[in-house]
Structures are given as structure tokens and as C-alpha cells.
Amino acid sequence: MSMEMKQSLRLSQQMVMTPQLQMAIKLLQVSRMELLEQVREELKENPFLEDVGETQAEQVRDDPEARAEMQLSGETETPAPQLDGRGEGREVPVDGQPAGDVDWEAWMENMATAPSPPVYRLSDEELPSIEQTYTRRTSLAEHLIRQLNMANLPEEHRYIGLLIIGNLDSDGYFKDPPLEEIVEEAEAQFGLPPGSLQEAGSAVLRRIQRFDPVGCAARTLQECLLVQAEVLGIDDEVLTRMLTEHLQDLEKKNYAKIARDLKVDIEEIYEAAKDIQRLDPRPGREYSTEEPQYITPDVYIHKIGDQYFVTVNDDGLPKLKISSYYLNTMRQRENKEAREYVQERLRSARWLIDSIQQRQRTIVRVTESILKFQREFFDKGINYLKPLTLRDIADDINMHESTISRATSNKYVHTPQGLFELKYFFNAGISKEGGGEDIASEAVKRLIKGIIQSEDPKNPYSDQKIVELLRDRHKIDIARRTVAKYREQLGILPSAQRKQVF
């Protein structure tokens, strides 16, 4: 067998993940808040990027001279990394130039004459009210420390109290570390012999539990409720035994069993249960310092007459442009290394601007496709939500399913029906009896919620009864376990715990 060397040609296809495509994919899948953070970081690191701001952006649209100065504004349409039907992409040349050697003159000319995309800005009525911008609330720890300081305790006792308060969770419970470790740390801090502050630790814990709000620093739910009952003066023997011996039965509202075990009349159990309902199982939540998270939609769907229009929300996003100073520097520099550095930074800035615009266009296209499939939902409401998959949208706009998944993750749309995550519109289908049109799982959840809201509180529907009502009223045949799963996802208790006895 002889060996020889020869030349041959072979044609093949492969995906090339250029840096520009990688950036486009990365920005597509991030949320709006993450996008803002990444743009701010890039503005800090890349001196060739500038944020023209809202005022200057408006002047640029109205003033031809300002438009010429702002040649690379982030508000205009530009060539961007194109995603094909398989989710693959390539870096698009500009005016026939190779991707690695950008013809900036031609690109700037295209940018200056390109139309601006639609921009929607929030009206004053949609902005948070002045009350929502006030200073932060007093935290639970601050509230308790203020009371601790007024208690005039010895310094070592106060130190134990500070350690206890510092280890409370958001509901006000003292679960970790054990009180013994707190006491040992205090003894070491003040150079006291081991065990000398054990009684003091218990006394300080008991005192803090009776601060306002009552029940904080309790180690268990049982201890929390017992402390509150004591302070409120309702700690009779029946109530105390119910909390200490039958807390699980109380949760299940199994009052008959409690009455049998305690050998008391059922009416006494009812009265004690009413008193327990007045207690707060989470005493610290009143002083929660968790700030509400306001959702800013990425895209809007407006209804004008019988027509729907999709507009991207650019409000709050920096309006990016290339610094004209560094563009002039690039033209004037004759040093090859300096020119290559400037070219690289300008290319990075261009990729960022293009990728953001590509992200916005993709989100708009996906939203328009969802609008086409879910038109009845936008016209009539949740009961008309249809089954929809990523594949349906991907086939409609000729993109890969992975691209659709990235474009809908952590993205929100404001519609005439309310604010929704784009993922909300993708639902599995549930068949109707008699061969009717499939119904979305979210619509079935809403039907289950409506049935439970209309039930008699003293005789709530079981999961099996809900199955029968869905079949009789809506021709929907699903299993009891499916109803139970949907009910749990809605945060609705089982029928035994929904039942109101008194």
C-alpha cells in the first residue's frame, strides 16, 4: 500500500460564533435590568461610547446639523447579526467591506439617514406615585433595638439582646444559632466564667419576645402563639392545650378530633379557635424592609380602534452613540498600533449598539407573532387563551426555538388585558369533550379559581367535585390529580382547610 499527498476541495457548512453573534445572543436572553447594567458597565469601560441622553436625542431628530454630529446614534436602525432559521448567524458586512475592517465613513452615512424606530415613553400617570418614593421604613431590628435601649439592662444583658435581635429572620423568628451559643459569645466578650449568663440569656429572650410586635424572637410557631396569647390575656387551658398538643389538627381544622381528645364541648373548641385566629404567626412581617420590585415592560401592545400595535419600550435605556472625538482621532492617527486599538474599541461599541437594536427588533417580532396567535385573548380575556408552543412562533417568524426562548425569558409586555411575561402565552393544550377546540392550561386554572370562589365556604368543593363541574359546565375532562396540581400552583388550600366551620 502506497501513501501519497494530494490537494482536494471540500464544501461544508458550519456555525461560526463570531464575537458579534455571541454578544447578540447574550443580550437577547438577559432581562431589562440586566441589559441596563451591562450597558452601564460598557459605558464605563469603553471610552468610545457615549450616552446622548433624552434631551439631546430629541434635538437630534429635529435639528439636521445635530443629526449629522450624532452620526452613530443608538436610536436608528443598523445592520445587525442575522439569525437564520436554525438560530445560526453570521456577521453582516457593511457596504461590501470585510467584517474585520469596517468602513466607518459608509456606516456613519447609513446611520445618519436611517429612520428611527418607534419609541414609547411612560406618561406621568404610569410612573410610581410620590408615596412610593419616600425614604425606607424602620426595620424590625431597629424597632426592637430602640426598645432594648430603653429597657436599662446591664451591658452584658444588652449585648445578648443585640445578638438575638441580629439573628432574627424576616418573620421575626429566632431559629439560629441556639441561645446557648449566643450566651457563650457574650461570656467570652466580657471575660465571664462559662455558665454565668445562662439565666440572663433566657430572661433577655423572654423580654424581647414581649416587645412590640409581640411574639418576635420566638423559636417556634407554637412558642410565638403562646406568647401572644399570654400578653393578650386569652391563654386559657383549652387554648393552651390546643397549641401545645394539637397544632397540626388545628391547621387541618379537625375540631371534632381535638374536642374528643381534650374531652370538652365542641363549642369551646370553636371559641378557642376564634381566639387563635386573632394571633399573628409572622409578627415580624409588619416591619419588612423588602422593597417592592416594579416591573418595566420591554414592549407595549396598544389597541387603537380594532387594530393592535406593538411598540418597543426604550424609556430608560441609554441612547448610545460613537464619540466623534475618537472617530476623528482614528482618522488622524498614523501610528499602526494606536489605530488598531481605536479600531477594536470602535468595533466593540458598534457591536453593542447593533446587538441592542437586534434584541429590540427580535422581541417586537416575537410579540407580533404572539399577538397573531392569541388575538382572542387580547379581545376577550383569559378564558380565550389558546395553546401555544415555541415551535409555533419559531415557524411563524422563521427563527430557531432557542432564539424564541431567549427572546421571551424575563421579558414583559403591557397589554390592554394587563402586564404579562411573554412566557405566559405559551401553554399546553387540554382537549375538550366532543372534539372541540383545545383550551390552554392557564385558562383551565382560571376556571378552577372561579369555581372555588363561587363555592359555599361552609361546604367547599372537593377536587373530585371540581373535576365533575369542569366536565358538566365546560366540557373539560381532566384528572383529579391535575386539578390538585393546578390548585396548588394557584396557592389555594385543599377543601378541608378552606372550610369555614364558624
Say how far apart CA 313 and CA 366 lie, in whole Å: 15
Q: What is the pLDDT of residues 26-67, one digit of tens each?
A: 888 888 888 888 888 888 888 778 887 643 544 544 555 545
pLDDT mean across residues, the chain:
82
Say how far apart CA 98 and CA 84 lie, in whole Å: 20
Lowest mean pLDDT among 33-47, 81-95, 208-222, 407-421: 81-95
With a cut of 80, say whether residue 69 has pLDDT above it: no
CB-count exposure of residue 258 (10 Å: 0-12, 13-18, 19+): buried
pLDDT at 227: 96
CB-count exposure of residue 366 (10 Å: 0-12, 13-18, 19+): buried
- Smallest Cα–Cα separation from 370: which of 299, 313, 435, 266? 299
Say how far apart CA 470 and CA 424 lie, in whole Å: 22
How many CB atoms are located within 10 Å of the residue 298 CB? 26
With a cut of 50, say whether residue 78 has pLDDT above it: no
The answer to whether 297 touches 184, Cβ cutoff 8 Å, is no
Mean pLDDT of 384-389: 91
Q: How far is CA 501 from CA 67, 147, 252, 271, 273, in A?
A: 72, 40, 12, 11, 10
- Paired with 311 in beta bridges are 300
| Cα 460 to chain centroid, rounded | 33
Q: What is the pLDDT of residues 414-440, one digit of tens each?
A: 999 999 999 999 988 888 776 667 888
Count of positions (residues) in the chain: 502
- Higher-confidence residue of 328 and 55: namely 328
Residues 6+ apart with CB under 8 A from 32: 296, 298, 410, 411, 412
Rg over CA atoms, the chain: 32
How many CB atoms are located within 10 Å of the residue 352 CB? 22
The DSSP code sequence of 28-66 is HHS-HHHHHHHHHHHHHH-TTEEE-HHHHHHHHHH-HHH
With a cut of 80, say whether residue 99 has pLDDT above it: no
What percentage of the chain has pLDDT greater than the value 90?
Answer: 51
Domains, the chain, with CATH or none? 19-120+299-393 (no CATH), 140-287 (no CATH), 428-502 (1.10.10.60)
Q: Checking DSSP bridges between strand 299-304 and strand 412-415, what pairing results, if any?
A: parallel
Say how far apart CA 95 and CA 107 lie, in whole Å: 8
- Smallest Cα–Cα separation from 299: which of 440, 410, 395? 410
The pTM for the full model equals 0.67
Q: How far is CA 83 from CA 362, 364, 397, 460, in A?
A: 10, 15, 11, 53
What percentage of the chain has pLDDT greater than the value 70?
Answer: 79
